Amino acid sequence: MTTLAARTLERLTTVSTATLTTALFKRGLRNVFLQEVARLSPGPNMVGFAYTLRTIPAREDVDVLDSFKDRSNPQRRAVEECPDGAVLVVDSRGDAQAASLGAILATRLALRGCAGIVTDGGYRDSPDIAAMAIPAYHKRPSAPTNLTRHHAVAINDPIACGGVAVFAGDVMVGDNEGVVCIPAHLAEEVAEEAAEMTVFEDFVQERVREGASTFGLYPPTDPQTMEDFARWRKERGR
Amino acid sequence: MTTLAARTLERLTTVSTATLTTALFKRGLRNVFLQEVARLSPGPNMVGFAYTLRTIPAREDVDVLDSFKDRSNPQRRAVEECPDGAVLVVDSRGDAQAASLGAILATRLALRGCAGIVTDGGYRDSPDIAAMAIPAYHKRPSAPTNLTRHHAVAINDPIACGGVAVFAGDVMVGDNEGVVCIPAHLAEEVAEEAAEMTVFEDFVQERVREGASTFGLYPPTDPQTMEDFARWRKERGR
Amino acid sequence: MTTLAARTLERLTTVSTATLTTALFKRGLRNVFLQEVARLSPGPNMVGFAYTLRTIPAREDVDVLDSFKDRSNPQRRAVEECPDGAVLVVDSRGDAQAASLGAILATRLALRGCAGIVTDGGYRDSPDIAAMAIPAYHKRPSAPTNLTRHHAVAINDPIACGGVAVFAGDVMVGDNEGVVCIPAHLAEEVAEEAAEMTVFEDFVQERVREGASTFGLYPPTDPQTMEDFARWRKERGR
Amino acid sequence: MTTLAARTLERLTTVSTATLTTALFKRGLRNVFLQEVARLSPGPNMVGFAYTLRTIPAREDVDVLDSFKDRSNPQRRAVEECPDGAVLVVDSRGDAQAASLGAILATRLALRGCAGIVTDGGYRDSPDIAAMAIPAYHKRPSAPTNLTRHHAVAINDPIACGGVAVFAGDVMVGDNEGVVCIPAHLAEEVAEEAAEMTVFEDFVQERVREGASTFGLYPPTDPQTMEDFARWRKERGR
Amino acid sequence: MTTLAARTLERLTTVSTATLTTALFKRGLRNVFLQEVARLSPGPNMVGFAYTLRTIPAREDVDVLDSFKDRSNPQRRAVEECPDGAVLVVDSRGDAQAASLGAILATRLALRGCAGIVTDGGYRDSPDIAAMAIPAYHKRPSAPTNLTRHHAVAINDPIACGGVAVFAGDVMVGDNEGVVCIPAHLAEEVAEEAAEMTVFEDFVQERVREGASTFGLYPPTDPQTMEDFARWRKERGR
Amino acid sequence: MTTLAARTLERLTTVSTATLTTALFKRGLRNVFLQEVARLSPGPNMVGFAYTLRTIPAREDVDVLDSFKDRSNPQRRAVEECPDGAVLVVDSRGDAQAASLGAILATRLALRGCAGIVTDGGYRDSPDIAAMAIPAYHKRPSAPTNLTRHHAVAINDPIACGGVAVFAGDVMVGDNEGVVCIPAHLAEEVAEEAAEMTVFEDFVQERVREGASTFGLYPPTDPQTMEDFARWRKERGR
């Protein structure tokens, strides 16, 4: 497990998942955006390293309400042990027919410093979770208790979430579009590059709003573009 | 057909579908939450007994516009006969490629005292329906007239809606998360139990917000928890 | 390619996709509403003729970032050539795993007079696009660059979008429910008829809000209904 | 309920579902072929009128093994009451996660004169059923007892099967490709027309095997084609 | 890990997955049949304890061809370490877009005494695997190397396969219909019960073939049935 | 359009789609195997360059039976113009609800020298097509005439088939597992490499059948392996 360098974390707070996927595409990584995982309510970027919870299908004889009394239940343990600054990422096998977790556990996670919660299943009490400050992402609301469909088996296993490989310690970044998973060893360089790309994209967006054609500008095949950008950047001190 | 006891109805107005699914899970019922059926706009709970409308796929020779002129058309009859306090539940076979109904019929239902409308298909005029006070749930907006895909065949048949068995007279409860179907004979006891569970969950949520660990508290394996709860409850007169 | 008569355009601005699908159903067209294509943010109707962009699955050797430098890239060319008043309709094969386009291109399209953008895939920078005035419709947000999944091949080919046939020059109308595609040769007559239907539906809606039964009124099988409507219409000068 | 005229039945034994769908397409019926419903083992055509069984999702408290003891259980009653020459068509809501029925019931149905069994779910003991003479169609093999997912509710209701409307008394025809449902009132004329079309298609197939171009032949836009066909037909006495 | 008692193994060789699912249903287990997992070619029952292989989505930087050179690669290690008599069960997350394994590894597994191979993905070289004696089950043929979509992460983790929870040591039984997973602690009693049930079902099937009604016979609500069965059984020495 | 070198064609006749996907994976191409497209009946490899037919959804006013009379109808024209040695690849948008084509057209194609037919939809008269010598691949049988769902629009457009990009002139290879699309410019080198790989795989398979471990052998990390292979190859003259 790890902590994120303050600078990397700060950079990732200011870039979009769209820009990050392009930075990762340049490195040959094409499958980094969690599919069908949406934010419950808009807000600032979520950034944190992945702390994973893995589930398999429930089995009626073991997934009974009393199983919650066991403090070694991985779902409950994850909530009490999730490190400060981590994002809890739940592999729900894309199954939103029962909840991955609900408002009480989300509240506890938020209070313990968890940076966000992500599942490819659904949350129960989703209107309450949507009203919390903690960034939360899921597939769709799902009232039934997790025991109905999910059996939590392990913490910090490598998992699938939204069709993407997530290893504990990878860096999860979420904006109002969705969530991207950055492999741990690339987090710093990708954060730097995405921050740089964002400055250029802001310049491009401004030029386009002023009426410029995208030809020559985006991508900057016209040499003038990079000259203009250098000046623009200097003027704005970015 | 039936009416709901005033007390049961009142209790169900104050509990969440999440809590209800747990109360039903305790009774061995695991498939009670309608899947992929979402509320068009947030509001207070929908509560009412199920009044069902069943459809099969349309057939071009019978599902013509003139079929709406026939007052025995089950869709149209359902709108004019749906009892006061009932929830109209439409089995659209999960098909949202054409509408289950639109704004004019929804308006008429609301005026006639219908407590809510639910389909596992879609509504047309959905922005207008979203602006009405009547709670409405569907899969996604769908402009095409129902004749394009649906042939209404019967009122008050047992049906499937959102993958759940719904018998006429079952109690439908909807909140901003979704809809649960409570078998008629369990409505009263489940309403009571869910109301009790809600008081405890409110207590837990408050404790967690104050910084308490979920261990020992939720579920209350620590004997102190129930003592604290008893005091908390007394103080608040709940 | 074509331009829309001002009167037709104006009429289509005031009618709903629901009404239009019924007008087309009367003409035997049952598959005109784009499935699973939703508006990013509510607003006035989108109306314009279709300007299409067709894609096939990406291939790693040709769909590289440098391909954007090529001004003959159909996606980029479409953005710079989309005619004033046209709706850009992208055939993304229903695949929202990568973006169809993003905020910079959407901004350029809006500035060039594009009347709206429609894809059966997803947009990147979708929160930014949602904040723009240009009507935009997609399946779900999708951050990854289009190269990840899509290879743009042609402009103004007949395409599929949301399961519907779209020919260049067809008239696309979008409201807050979704998008309908009107075959070019029917646009004028359907616009007229839908506008007429809308007047009657407004009358019906008003009557129903006043407590009228739908029987005899909708459809107007009771001769009195058409008399009342004639008077109502005259009073309102519609 | 009905019986099929001997001549109609005989004709339908000799035509393909492909030809039948075209004959129905000519009459404006586009949705008559059951989707994702395949034959377990090849054999001669299945022909018979529809005897329907409708199911809804199972509910754990009512769908217990003891429910099979009840002779009014619609699944069991259907097996003992299905009329001679009928095809049992089961609406399993497209859900093959549990069986629609198994080998013992299929054996009983075959012995009682049932002309075939069709479900849009699955059969258990499917290898045994595949070895029987009775034509059987399903989605895929499914071992779990029907109680796991299905609650049988009614016999001879209008149903959906494979996405197609099936009314009791409609004529079901199955070949090694799949199953088509012919509305009862069209059975006779469609049988006659399909038999005629089959003669022509046999002629065309023979000509094409001999090297003829399809242009002018299929469809017979070249006047010579119909002359040749008349002679061919005469020679063969068809 | 475990070995199966010879008697249990023998019994399970003679019963069907249909009968086993009913025996497990009686114990409250409703989700034991692997969904959409079919046998490549018919043959005698597969019986063995589960030896699991877990995968997550591939990542381009780690899932390169050279990764096969690493003897700690879990897929390759599983093939060389799978115990005699075990069934290799691969959690491919239901993704058959790339292979779970191919003919060379299947051959090696067969030679090492593996009792069968099961995946909810697909096999490459599937026609070759179909021709082998080892029972093999998958979703559909899939030529691409596993690296395209799958990253093998662990051996003998609890997994999901075909939507069912599989723990290492559970007993996998496959017939020509599909695969059932029996929780380890129930294997012996379920084997015994299923063997008993099979004798009765054989008796019922024989009676039905002789023309008996299913009423009173199946289930045996008529007391005469059990008397007849006792005699029948004695006569046959079963 | 192109013809395949005789040597390339011959090599491709002897290798499997599994081996080809690996050869393409080495070149960075991960999406070359058509998904959910299966052979109707087993036989020798299909090899030929792609001749494509593109469809969009049908529209009721243009997709009438009389449209077949028009010799410029792209489906009919494709059948009469498909070059000798080509594989007809139909983009049916993955929709098998209506046929892509039937037995008469397949017969004509076979007689005209077409090397195979591939669709990501379905065929009608599929039992007849299965009995022909021409290799044919589809998703599932589908009796309804193509007009029901498909409107043929163009020949030799770049298309999607089974989720894979197919350009006219690409080389299609099909075995009893499925179909792979080799980009035209890679066909020769991939054919050579796959033929080489096949020799090695045959050697490995033989060694494994003799009891060898896969470690060191596959891949050949043990230097002895390549020595053994050289000798084996020499002995067999391959």
D29/B60 touch (CB, cutoff 8 Å), yes or no: yes
CA nearest neighbour of A24 among A202, A191, A217, A218: A191
pTM listed for this prediction: 0.98
F47-103 pLDDT, tens digit per residue, is: 999 999 999 999 999 999 999 999 999 999 999 999 999 999 999 999 999 999 999
Task: Specify if D90 maps to a domain.
Answer: yes
Measure CB to CB from residue B57 to each of D61, D151, D160 and give the nearest one: D160
- How many B×C Cβ pairs under 8 Å? 80
Contacts of D32 in chain F (CB under 8 A): 144
- For residues B168 and B196, state if they share a domain: no
Specify the 3-state DSSP secondary structure of F116. strand
Q: D144–E30: do the CB atoms touch at under 8 Å? A: yes
Q: Is residue C65 scored above 50 in pLDDT?
A: yes
* E42·D127 Cβ contact <8 A: yes
Q: Of the candidates A184, A201, A219, which is a domain's last residue?
A: A184
What is the model's pLDDT at position A166? Answer: 98
In the structure, what pLDDT confidence band is assigned to residue C92 with cuts at 50, 70 and 90? very high
- pLDDT class for D4, splitting at 50, 70, 90? confident
Flag if E38 and D108 touch (Cβ within 8 Å). Answer: no
Residues of chain B with Cβ-Cβ distance to D164 below 8 Å are 57
E125 CB within 8 Å of a chain F CB: yes
Cβ pair B190, B16 in contact under 8 A: no
Q: Is C86 helix (H, G, I), strand (E, B) or coil?
A: strand
In chain E, which residue's Cα lies nearest the Cα of A91?
Answer: E56
Tell me, yes or no, whether E212 lies in a domain: yes
Show which of F159, F185, F211 is a domain's final residue: F185
| Inter-chain touch E160–A29, beta carbons under 8 Å | no
Tell me the β-bridge partners of B54: B91, B154
Q: What's the maximum distance between 2 C-alpha atoms anywhere in chain B? A: 69
Whether A54 and A153 map to the same domain: the answer is yes
Q: Does F181 touch chain C (CB under 8 A)?
A: no
CB-based contact E59 A153, cutoff 8 Å:
no
Tally the C-alpha atoms within 13 A of residue A111's C-alpha that lie toward its C-beta. Answer: 18
Name the helix (H) or strand (E) containing D164. Answer: strand D164-166
pLDDT at C223: 94
Q: What is the CATH number of the domain that holds A173?
A: 3.50.30.40
Q: Mutating which of B30, B176, B204 best tests the A interface, going by the most A Cβ atoms within 10 A?
A: B30
Q: Which residue of A has its CA nearest to E27?
A: A61
The reply to whether A167 and A204 lie within a common domain is no
Per-residue pLDDT at C2 exceeds 70 = no
Would residue B1 count as lying in a domain? Answer: no
> Is F11 in the same domain as F100?
yes
Query: Does a cis peptide bond (omega within 30 degrees of 0) precede residue D158?
Result: no
Domain that includes residue F126, residue range: 6-185
- Which of E132, E127, E147, E76 has its CA nearest to residue F16? E127
What are the respective helix, strand and coil percentages of chain A, to the nearest 5?
A: 35, 20, 40
Q: Does C contact A via 3+ CB–CB distances below 8 Å? A: yes
Closest partner CB to F104 (pick from D33, D180, D201): D201
Contact D25 F143 (CB under 8 A): no
Residue type at position F136: A
Same domain flag for E89 and E172: yes
Residue of B nearest to A139 (CA): B36
In chain A, residues with a C-beta closer than 8 Å to the C-beta of E93 are 93, 160
Domain co-membership, B226 together with B134: no
Q: Give the mutation candidate from E108, E114, E128, E129 for the F interface (greatest F CB count, under 10 A).
A: E108
Residue of F nearest to D162 (CA): F97
Give the percent of chain E with pLDDT over 70: 99
Q: Is F56 on the interface with C (CB under 8 A)?
A: yes
Which residues of chain E form beta strands (DSSP E)?
38-39, 46-57, 86-91, 99-101, 116-119, 122-123, 136-138, 150-155, 159-161, 164-166, 171-174, 179-182
- pLDDT category at B2 given cuts 50, 70, 90 is low
Q: What pLDDT does C1 receive?
A: 43
F1 belongs to a structural domain = no
Show residues of chain B in contact with A69, CB under 8 Å: 219, 221
Task: State whether residue A28 sits within 8 Å of chain C by CB.
Answer: no
Tokens of C51: 């300007």
In tens, the pLDDT along B98-144 reads 999 999 999 999 999 999 999 999 999 999 999 999 999 999 999 99
Count of CA atoms in the C-beta half-sphere (13 A) of E132:
26
pLDDT of residue D90: 98
C-alpha span between A201 and A209 (Å, rounded): 12
Question: How confident is the model at residue C106, as a pLDDT?
Answer: 98
Same domain, A102 and A158: yes
3-state secondary structure A110-160: HHCCCCEEEECCEECCHHHHHCCCCCEEECCCCCCCHHHCEEEEEECCCEE
Q: Cβ–Cβ of B165/D157 closer than 8 Å?
A: no
Residue D20 lies in a domain: yes
- Both D83 and D18 in one domain: the answer is yes
**CB-based contact C30:F60 (threshold 8 Å):** yes
Q: Do residue E98 and residue E153 come from a single domain? A: yes
- Predicted interface score ipTM higher than 0.90: yes
What's the domain count of chain C? 2
Tell which residue, A38, A13, A95, has the closest CA to residue C142: A38
- At A86, phi and psi to the nearest 5? -85, 160
Quick one: E169 and E230 in the same domain? Answer: no
Average pLDDT (C127-138) is: 98
Is the CB of A214 less than 8 angstroms away from the CB of C105? yes
- A151 and A81, same structural domain? yes
Q: Assign E23 a pLDDT band (cuts: 50, 70, 90).
A: very high
| Shortest distance, CA D139 to any CA of chain E (angstroms) | 10
Cβ contacts of residue E68 below 8 Å, gap of 6+? E76, F218, F219
Statement: residue F1 has pLDDT above 80: no
Q: Which residue, of D165, D183, D201, is where some domain finishes?
A: D183
**pLDDT (0 to 100) of residue A2:** 59
For A134-161, the pLDDT digits (tens) are 999 999 999 999 999 999 999 999 999 9
Q: Are residues D141 and D206 in the same domain?
A: no
Identify the pLDDT of residue C4. Answer: 82
Give the model's pLDDT for residue D1. Answer: 43
pLDDT grade, residue F2 (50/70/90)? low
Residue E173 confidence class, pLDDT cut points 50, 70, 90: very high
Is C53's pLDDT higher than 60? yes
Which pLDDT value is given to residue D176? 98
